[in-house]
Amino acid sequence: MARRERVMRMSVEQPLWRALTGYRVLTMLYAIGLFATAHEELDRPWVAIAYYAVLAGWTLGTLRCVANAASCTKWFLVIDLAVALVGIVLTPLADSHQRIVDGGPTLPSIWTAGAVLAYAIKGGWRWAALASLLVGVANVAQRGAFSRDTIHNVLLVCIASIAIGYVVEVARASERTLARALEIEAATRERERLARDIHDSVLQVLAMVQRRGTALGGEAAELGRLAGEQEVALRTLVAGGMVPASRASEDASQGALVRAVEEPDDESGTAHDTAPRDLRPLLVPHAGSKVTLSEPGAPVLLAPPVARELAAAVSAALDNVRRHAGDGAHAWILVEDEPDEVIVTVRDDGPGIPEGRLAEAEGEGRLGVALSIRGRLRDIGGTAELISVPGQGTEVELRVPREAARTARGKAGKA
């Protein structure tokens, strides 16, 4: 049966890169605007013009370098910070000493913060601290002395960039943790689905071969013994540990990747059949001399995957009746189409289940109730409740919320 693989990409830091791209362009325009309003006051305006030509070309030409973490290479960061530092150091050549002492802006002005923020987003708070330190040294050097305004501006850039770098590191760690959790959940669901299929087919065949071989004796008994060994080994494998994490969940440079296998939405293996499915025809084959089926007179419409899983859970419950209640046991299936949910009850008149037997069976790898019944109902948003009284039989109540049926009818109306 064909299945689709969905790849989900999650990235908490990607919005920061987009914001940084806009910040660099706006601050470049701001720096040029400051020069345009005060160029007459500069001693050597041609130095500023030459620098702003380089700054504009560099900013616009490297926009793709701040699009994401992969594009922002170490060489880009080094050159980008160098452009900011050169602009700071060139400020005394373009502007008068008095304007600098009075607190006049450097040539790159607040564009410098963009270079430092690139370090923070790319490498975290340690890279941000290094870039901030270099910017602080350059500012003190161009002024020739410490001043309150200089210290204030340097500390502001330093604290802001370090804080953003730390937030990015925390976000990346959370991203990897979430990706790992989603991957484990997807792998667990796929493992449970495979376990249900194996339980409903291979394990039952092996168990039957073991019983029949033991009853026949001779060479058939040896075949039954081997089948029993394989059944135990397969049950152990099915109930085994979790699959290891893939490297995809640990790659946060482009956002964490999570791969989830999706089951097809119809029996043919395609996802285009959205028509509702009547549950009743799926349950009719179970009716017989030992199984009584009671159903509504009107169709019980459910989404196709919901109807199939619910019918499979009923089949698993009846299989348990045949295996554990004995050949003389009788079973009843009751289908109720309520306004808020669909209820299917499977009841038998067998000896019932001893207290603690379900937990013991699950520990032995016998997962008929845990996976084939409860697991299926959980996957479709329903619940399964098992009530058993020794000597009075067992009742399995399967409930599916009405939302599943309502969704199916809505889709049918659009078809």
What integer is the mean pLDDT of 186-199? 69
Phi, psi of 349 (to 5 degrees): -110, 30
Contacts (Cβ under 8 Å, ≥6 apart) of 232: 365
Spatial distance between the Cα atoms of 214 and 237, rounded to a whole number of angstroms: 24
pTM over 0.75: no
E-state strands within 251-322:
256-262, 277-278, 291-294, 301-302
The tens digit of pLDDT for each residue in 332-374 reads 999 998 888 999 999 988 887 766 555 555 555 444 555 678 8
Residue 58 pLDDT: 94
- Mean pLDDT (whole number) for 64-80: 90
Task: For residue 244, give the DSSP letter.
Answer: P
Q: What pLDDT, on a 0 to 100 scale, did the predictor assign at position 210?
A: 74
Q: Which strand (E) or helix (H) includes residue 6? A: strand 4-10
From CA 231, how far away is CA 209, in angstroms rounded? 10
CA atoms within 13 A on the CB side of 209: 18
For residue 368, the cross-strand partners are: none
Cα separations in angstroms, 49 against 44, 55, 233, 295: 9, 10, 79, 86
Lowest mean pLDDT, pick from 113-122, 152-161, 244-253, 369-378:
244-253
Query: Mean per-residue pLDDT for 22-51?
Result: 88
In angstroms and rounded to an integer, the radius of gyration of the C-alpha atoms of the chain is 35
Virtual CA dihedral for 400, 405, 407, 408, nearest 10 degrees?
130
Alpha-carbon dihedral angle through residues 305, 307, 310, 311, given to the nearest 10 degrees:
-110
Predicted confidence (pLDDT) per residue in 275-287, tens digit: 788 898 899 888 8
Per-residue confidence band for 230, with pLDDT thresholds at 50, 70 and 90: confident
Position with higher pLDDT, 387 vs 64: 64
Q: What pLDDT is stored for residue 1 in this prediction?
A: 40
CA dist list (Å): 308 to 154, 202, 281, 311: 65, 19, 11, 5
- Rounded distance between C-alpha atoms, residue 60 and residue 92, angstroms: 26
The proportion of the chain whose per-residue pLDDT surpasses 90, expressed as a percent, equals: 17
pLDDT value of position 354: 67
How far is 63 from 25, CA to CA, in rounded Å? 9
Neighbours of 246 (CB within 10 A): 15
Least confident residue range of 51-65, 78-92, 347-361: 347-361
Residue 118: pLDDT above 60? yes
208, pLDDT greater than 90:
no
Whether residue 391 is predicted with pLDDT greater than 80 in this model: the reply is no
79 band by pLDDT with thresholds 50, 70 and 90? very high
Least confident span in 180-189, 311-320, 406-415: 406-415
